[in-house]
Structure 1
């Protein structure tokens, strides 16, 4: 028992919770306008993106590549893709932006990574909530045909985003320019993830190279969960989950091996 009368494990958990809370509050305030409410902008940004695309497609008389609703088609493509882009990008910047906090002995590198991951998961589900609310107000039915598969696909996507973002975050601690390169690479992710097209409708010569992109499988998983009769010939759930688990393990391994250098730097 400690002087507080509590078991040491409880004091350690309380300290860890306080550290992570402090990191999360700092991240929320520094995202936009130096105010906590700026955190909501991150969750609303994908919706603005979706509305702009819907407006452009409507203006030019384009119809949904699959299904009856253009808004639902964009929901199933943009939400997974943009969630990966935003979550992994902010994970990439987490350690570099919070480097000053490592001056406090109580703050560990893993604390910053875990706090940012929790914050990004919260933001991702807020985005999902706002998207559903918006589509309901517009008269669409945003609920998937198979809600369990849609939920599992979204969780697999978050695992992937946090894992890849963790690797990128450790690399950025040593090479700051990598954050810019990673941000630019998100343009390719956006284009090649099936956000605006149906991957299964493409010829095999195009589908095969595209299938190495794990985000494409998250989009396909979501669309299979939404649409009756949507082809799953491109979808490989094991690949997506395996890629996410491997990325997370590699990111944690890099953090453990390079922790001392990061703290000294």
Structure 2
């Protein structure tokens, strides 16, 4: 029989981690049911949306291959580009304004702001990551692309890109609790960031003078990293792992500071 816990005693680190995992899992299941349980094809939209886009872009680029003369794997280019956009765009979108609708959950002493954020970004990571993996196998099976030249590099690049998306999402999500203007401005900003993210072009194709400025955008390094692992023999990749990791660490630090501020100034309803 397990030993009873003393209510006034601080739980051990292992016990705290066990409680944290159970809370996040419960919030994750709640999010799945709430978001996908009663809408059209539900969870499958995570796969259908990028598949429709990628197929459309692939057909268009293949039809124009003789005009642009590119020697790139078109399906792999579109897949890596759009999937990378989903990482840094969807995660913040899910966390902006996420605290207020979940204030009632804060009455549970084990539910914290960071738990709500973690459940939501974990769901996005699972969805986008699975979509990327399934579409890669599907397009490879029908001959639209070859499997990655360096799978390890693809996985590491994807993890770094996901880390960036998680850090950015948590920072923007916590910051949105300070002011509603964050919610108003964030969505237009994502549209402005899309052409700068490297999803629709290669850094190597940009003029040398412009390339130095482009490489200040952190997402570009993640996209180039993943593409280097996918079809690096077809182009010269330009990315700096240390630069992207520095961004990730800094964003995560600011995110944790903002989450702590939001938690301390929270008033449950």
| TM bin (shorter chain) | 0.7 to 0.9
Select 1:82's aligned residue among 79, 86, 110.
Answer: 86
C-alpha distance in 2 between matches for 1:103 and 1:36: 33
Question: In structure 1, the residue corresponding to 2:143 is in which secondary structure?
Answer: coil
Single out whichever of 9-18 and 207-216 deviates more from structure 2: 9-18
Q: Deviations over 1:217-247 (max 9, x none)?
A: 1111122222215223x31111111101110
Q: Measure the CA separation in 2 of the matches of 1:100 and 1:151.
A: 38
Which segment drifts farther, 164-173 or 205-214?
205-214
- For structure 2, the 5+ residue unaligned runs are none
Who is 2:233 aligned against? 228
The answer (yes or no) to whether the contact 1:81–1:219 under 8 Å persists in 2 is: no
After superposition, give the CA deviation of every residue in 1:43-81 in whole Å (9 maximum; x if it has no partner).
432222222322343455577775343111212322222
Instruction: Flag structure 1 segments of 5+ consecutive residues without an equivalent.
Output: none
Out of 97, 102, 105, which is 1:101 matched to?
105
Q: Tell me the CA shift for residue 17 of structure 1.
A: 2.7
- 2:4 aligns with 3
Equivalent pairs counted in the alignment come to: 263
Stretches of 4+ moved more than 6 A in 1?
62-65
Instruction: Tell me the distance in 1 between the aligned counterparts of 2:164 and 2:255.
Output: 11
Name which of structure 1's ranges 159-168 and 113-122 shifts more when overlaid on structure 2: 113-122
Aligned-residue RMSD, C-alpha: 2.9
Partner SS for 1:228: helix
Is the Cα–Cα contact under 8 Å of residues 204 and 236 in structure 2 kept in the other structure?
A: yes
Q: How does 1:38-117 map to 2 (within 5 A)?
A: 38-58=42-62, 66-117=70-121
CA positional deviation for 1:37? 6.5
Change (3 A) 1:214 1:249: same
Q: Does 1:186 align with 2:187?
A: no
1:22 aligns with 2:23: no
Matches of 1:89 and 1:8, distance apart in 2: 34
Counterpart Cα distance in 1 of 2:130 and 2:67: 28
Preserved contact between residue 67 and residue 73 of structure 1 (Cα < 8 Å): no
Aligned residue in 2 for 1:195: 199
- Once residues 127 and 263 of structure 1 are traced to their aligned partners in structure 2, the CA distance between those partners, rounded to angstroms, is 37
Partner of 2:244: 240
Task: Choose the corresponding residue for 1:252, options 239, 253, 256.
Answer: 256
TM-score (norm 2): 0.84
1: CA distance, partners of 2:223 / 2:202: 10
TM score, norm. by length of structure 1: 0.85
1:164–1:64 distance in 2 versus 1, CA, 3 Å: farther
The CA distance in 2 between the partners of 1:66 and 1:58, in whole Å, is: 10
Pick closer, same or farther for the CA change 1:185–1:65 going to 2, 3 Å: farther
Q: How big is the shift at 1:248?
A: 0.9
Bigger shift: residues 144-153 or 105-114? 105-114
**What is the CA distance between 1:123 and its match in structure 2?**
1.5
